[in-house]
């Protein structure tokens, strides 16, 4: 189990002598738009590794979340939640302890196609240029993401590091609904009721015409 609290992680090996040229990191887009038809997306990062040695590692780090992991146990013959472990500010902080809760959390995230175990290789475009595609699953959390590129020297020492941030945001109708429901919850509730009542009335009017 990797202890890295990274949402997605990628690694590449590049072998050349170490030089003091800067590491370049850039994103194809600084925004991933989650519309109502969103069914997974991509984050494309590219850049240039300085001619030199070292291991270039790229990480996509998701927004932090407060979560609770709960465990069911048997109580009077019924399966109920009997234990829980909180995790604050994930994924930056791993859940406390090394016990079953931590393993369950990682398994849960991996089922959602988040927190992969093994890194994938990135595209070497030649001349030190590279490109990487991170796949985002359909149920991706909304928020600010960070892409971190780090050049590691011998012994795991970080030689250079670059960061770029991007937003995963609702757009269009979805964004309008989320904003309205957040800012004017009462009005949003009433809107839902009115929509439902109108549909109910329409149904009643339609059946009346026929019978």
Rounded CA separation 163/117 (Å):
22
Q: Smallest distance from the beta carbon of 76 to other proteins, in angstroms?
A: 11
Q: Smallest distance from the beta carbon of 68 to other proteins, in angstroms?
A: 5
Rounded CA separation 80/89 (Å):
26
State the DSSP code for 184. Answer: -
Instruction: Out of 16, 28, 68, 129, point to the residue binding other proteins (CB under 8 A).
Output: 68
Residues forming a β-bridge with 84: 70
Query: Any contact of residue 118 with other proteins (CB under 8 A)?
Result: no
Query: Any contact of residue 84 with other proteins (CB under 8 A)?
Result: yes
C-beta closer to other proteins: residue 38 or 134:
38
Closest CA to 116 of 95, 145, 91: 91
Q: Smallest distance from the beta carbon of 120 to other proteins, in angstroms?
A: 23
Rounded CA separation 59/72 (Å):
33
Q: Is 186 helix (H, G, I), strand (E, B) or coil?
A: helix
Q: Smallest distance from the beta carbon of 95 to other proteins, in angstroms?
A: 10
Query: Any contact of residue 113 with other proteins (CB under 8 A)?
Result: no
Rounded CA separation 54/150 (Å):
10
Q: Which stretch binds other proteins (CB under 8 A): 16-24, 46-54, 64-72, 118-126?
A: 64-72
Query: Any contact of residue 77 with other proteins (CB under 8 A)?
Result: yes
Rounded CA separation 23/56 (Å):
10
**Exposed/middle/buried for 114, CB within 10 Å: 0-12, 13-18, 19+?**
buried
C-beta closer to other proteins: residue 24 or 177:
177
DSSP H helical ranges for the chain: 100-111, 172-183, 185-210
Instruction: Out of 16, 22, 30, 36, point to the residue binding other proteins (CB under 8 A).
Output: 36
Instruction: Out of 94, 142, 146, 152, point to the residue binding other proteins (CB under 8 A).
Output: 142
Catalog residues that contact other proteins under the rule CB under 8 A.
Answer: 34-40, 65-74, 77-81, 84, 100-101, 104-105, 107-109, 138-139, 141-142, 170, 173-175, 177-178, 181-182, 185-186, 188-193, 195-197, 199-204, 206-208, 211
């Amino acid at each position: 189990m990797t202890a890295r609290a990274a949402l997605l992680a990628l690694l590449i090996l590049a072998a050349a002598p170490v030089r003091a040229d800067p590491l370049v990191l850039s994103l194809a887009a600084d925004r991933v738009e989650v519309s109502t038809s969103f069914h997974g997306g991509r984050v494309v990062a590219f850049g240039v590794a300085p001619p030199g040695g070292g291991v270039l590692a790229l990480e996509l780090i998701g927004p932090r979340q407060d979560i609770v992991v709960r465990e069911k146990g048997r109580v009077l013959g019924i399966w109920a939640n009997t234990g829980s472990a909180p995790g604050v500010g994930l994924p930056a902080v791993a859940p406390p302890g090394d016990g079953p809760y931590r393993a369950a959390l990682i398994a849960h995230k991996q089922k959602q196609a988040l927190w992969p175990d093994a890194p994938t290789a990135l595209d070497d475009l030649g001349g030190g240029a590279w490109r990487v595609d991170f796949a985002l699953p359909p149920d991706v959390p909304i928020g600010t993401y960070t892409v971190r590129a780090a050049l590691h020297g011998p012994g795991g020492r970080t030689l250079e590091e670059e960061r770029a941030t991007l937003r995963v945001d609702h757009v269009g109708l979805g964004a309008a609904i989320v904003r309205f429901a957040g800012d004017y919850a009462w009005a949003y509730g009433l809107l839902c009721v009115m929509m439902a009542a109108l549909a109910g009335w329409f149904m009643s009017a339609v059946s009346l015409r026929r019978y």
